[in-house]
Amino acid sequence: MTVQARRAHPYIPNSEPGTKAAMLAEIGAASMDELYADIPESLRFRGTLNIPEALPAEAQLKRTLERIMARNTSCEEATSFLGAGCYNHYVPAICDEITRRAEFLTAYAGEPYEDFGRFQALWEYESLMAELLDMDICNVPTFDWFQAASTALRMAGRYTDRPVALIAGNISPDRLAAIRNYCEPVMRLELLGWDPATGLMDLADLRAKLNGQVAAVYFENPGYLGFLETQGQAIADLTHAQGSLLVVGADPNSLGLLTPPSQYGADLVCGDIQTLGNHMHFGGGMGGFIATRDEEKLVMEYPSRLFGISTTDVPGEYGFGDVAYDRTSFAHREKGKEFVGTATALHGIAAAVYLSLMGPVGMKDLGEHILQKAQYLAQGLASLRGVKLGLNAPYYKEFVVDFNGTGRSVAEINEALLKAGIFGGKDLSGEFPALGQSALWAVTELVSREEIDRAIDVLAAFLGGK
């Protein structure tokens, strides 16, 4: 037998023919097909899959993939003003160092006796988030904000034993679609009116729609359109007066600076941890959180894993484990709370590292930095001919830019910017036709003043001056 013929695939050691033959002999099988005896011939696939030839050589594989991926332009190469739920924040080197550790990257579902570090890291994540959000409890991450909001509303539905959720009318249509798919038909969603001048919730409409059927009222702060919902306490008071729960979506990245929703009456807070030390990954960096107070009835409605700290047989030693595991679908299938499974734990560990590095000072500095940058960008844009801000409301890092007065469409404007290596804000004309030619612009600490100035200059040239 030649060396070549005996070569195994690098990922499949027992594909080495000698080993394979010996193992078949050991189990008394004459052929591989014999192992599939239970599969009827009519179900056997006897063709060849139309998949390119194998690239077992890593150097060749890497070159092939790098050539494909070279056709992408990253936000490292371009200047990006895109946000709308995913943000180009700085990821400290230590976040990458930790999440690339093979121990964390390749662990899965071990018990604390093998995976003590995984339990402690995620317990610390829950704890750090609780401090940032000023709430008692946060779960092990769920998929993303979409899922977190959906589950928070279902939790409220079970807690109150009521079927209706009232939703701020200008949340992201995509997020609304996910919430709708997850909540219906068990719950019913109704959208609340909003003031087109400011984005704020129409409290009269809220009053009119609140009744004994309403499980929860949901809004986001900052809202999808960037504005700050400044009526939080009033909304909370109206909601609580009807025995309903207030669910608020928030960007945790803003909370070193902004008031956490629990301080204006939120019962459940949800959102995304992509903005806490996770790369964008074309939207794959998302991870959802749900926080609440330490009330048994509410805690028992979580479908997610909740890790707790405990003691061991050795005094002074910490132990960790699952709190109230009996809630879950692992334990009770369709009788459990929704479902639980693999979600985004590694993003939670990244967020734990991020918050540990940033501390209260870093989070505050970051918030102030981004706020000023956003204001600087907004002023620059509003100084352009025919351009104004779309909403008359305070914002954090994102805001609506109204291009209706320019005679140009957002598509044309973004095309001009793209030619200069700039990704303009998200075109809102499809999602919010009433806003006409408007776009959602976002800024982070990674966009420099020079880049902002250059974007304004490119736009000024395209739109015919300031």
Partner 1 sequence: MGTMRPLKVRNHFHQAKWDEELIFELHKPGEVGVAVAPVEKGITEKVKGVAALPPSMVRTKAPGLPEVGQMRVLKHFLRLSQQTLGADFTVDIGQGTCTMKYSPKINDVLASSPKMARLHPLQDGRTVQGLLQVMHELDLYLREISGMDAFSMQPASGSAAILGMVSMIQAYHASRGEAETRDEIITTIFSHPSDAAAAAVKGYKVITLMQGEDGLPTVEDLKKVVGPRTAGLLITNPEDTGIFNPQIREFTRLVHEAGGLCGYDQANLNGIMAITRAREAGFDMCFFNLHKTFSTPHGCGGPAGGALGVVQHLRDFLPRPLVVKENGVYRLDSDLKHSIGKLRAFCGTAQVQLRAYTWIRALGAEGLKEAAEIAVLNNNYLLKKITRIKGASAPYAVGRRRIEQVRYSWEQLHRDTGVTTEEIAVRMADFGMHLWSSHHPFIVPQPFTIEPTESYSREELDEYVGVLEQISKEAYTEPETVKTAPHRSVCHHIHHDDFDDPRRWAITWRLYQRKHSARP
Region 341-400 residues binding partner 1, contact defined as CB under 8 A: 341-347, 349, 352-353, 355-366, 368-369, 371-373, 375-376, 379, 394
In angstroms, the CA 270 to CA 258 distance is 15
Please state the closest distance from residue 84 (CB atom) to partner 1, in A: 6
Cα–Cα distance for residue pair 374/397, rounded to 1 Å: 5
Looking at beta carbons only, is 101 or 464 nearer to partner 1? 101
In degrees, to the nearest 5, what angle opens at C-alpha 204 toward C-alphas 201 and 208?
115
Pairing of strands 214-221, 268-272: unpaired
- Give the whole-angstrom CA distance, residue 31 versus residue 371: 68
Q: State which of residues 64, 212, 243, 382 lies at the interface with partner 1 (CB under 8 A).
A: 64
Site for partner 1 in 201-260 (CB under 8 A): 228, 230, 232-233, 255-260
* Smallest gap from residue 286 Cβ to partner 1 (A): 5
458, 417 Cβ separation under 8 angstroms: yes
What is the amino acid identity at position 441?
W
Q: 3-class SS at 291?
A: strand
| Region 125-164 residues binding partner 1, contact defined as CB under 8 A | 126-128, 130-132, 134, 136-138, 140-141, 143-147, 154
Binds partner 1 (CB under 8 A): choice among 1, 5, 30, 102: 102
Asked if residues 409 and 429 have their Cβ atoms less than 8 Å apart, the reply is yes
320 near partner 1 (CB under 8 A) = yes
Q: Which of residues 178-197 bind partner 1 (CB under 8 A)?
A: 178, 180-182, 185-186
| Residue number, 405 or 421, with CB nearest to partner 1 | 421
d(CA 79, CA 85): 17
Q: Which stretch binds partner 1 (CB under 8 A): 163-171, 190-198, 236-244, 443-451?
A: 443-451
Q: How far is the CB of 415 from partner 1 (least distance, A)?
A: 8
Place of tokens 């250059």: 454
Nearest CB to partner 1, comparing residues 77 and 161: 77
Binders of partner 1: how many residues, by CB under 8 A? 210
In DSSP notation, 403-422 reads -GGGTS-HHHHHHHHHHTTE
Residue 379 or 464: the one with the smaller Cβ distance to partner 1 is 379
Residues 6+ apart with CB under 8 A from 372: none
From candidates 196, 212, 284, 407, binder to partner 1 by CB under 8 A: 284
Distance CA 298, CA 16 (A): 55
CB of 128 to partner 1, least distance (A): 6
Q: Among the candidate windows 115-123, 201-209, 239-247, 458-466, which touches partner 1 by CB under 8 A?
A: 115-123
Strand 426-427 and strand 438-442: the pairing is: antiparallel
Q: Tokens representing 329?
A: 């679908």
Provide the minimum distance between the beta carbon of 69 and partner 1 in the complex, in angstroms, as a whole number. Answer: 4
Restricting to residues 27-56, name those near partner 1 by CB under 8 A. Answer: 27, 29, 32, 34-40, 42-45, 48-56
Contact status: 120 vs partner 1 (CB under 8 A): yes
Residue 113 is a binding residue for partner 1 (CB under 8 A): yes
Q: Does 311 bind partner 1 (CB under 8 A)?
A: yes
- 129, 138 Cβ separation under 8 angstroms: yes
Shortest CB 113 distance to partner 1, Å: 4
Query: Of 412, 396, 407, 409, nearest to 438 (Cα)?
Result: 409
Q: What region, left, alpha or beta, does residue 324 occupy, with left being phi > 0 and alpha being psi -120 to 50 degrees?
A: left
3-state DSSP call for residue 365? helix
Binding flag, residue 2, partner 1 (CB under 8 A): no
- Whose Cβ is closer to partner 1: residue 189's or residue 405's? 189
The residue (of 423 and 432) whose beta carbon lies closer to partner 1 is: 423
Pairing of strands 398-402, 426-427: unpaired
Binding residue for partner 1, selected from 103, 190, 237, 457, defined by CB under 8 A = 103
Q: Which is nearer to partner 1, 9 or 207 (CB)?
A: 9
* Nearest CB to partner 1, comparing residues 124 and 301: 124
Task: Give the number of other CB atoms < 10 A from CB of residue 449.
Answer: 11
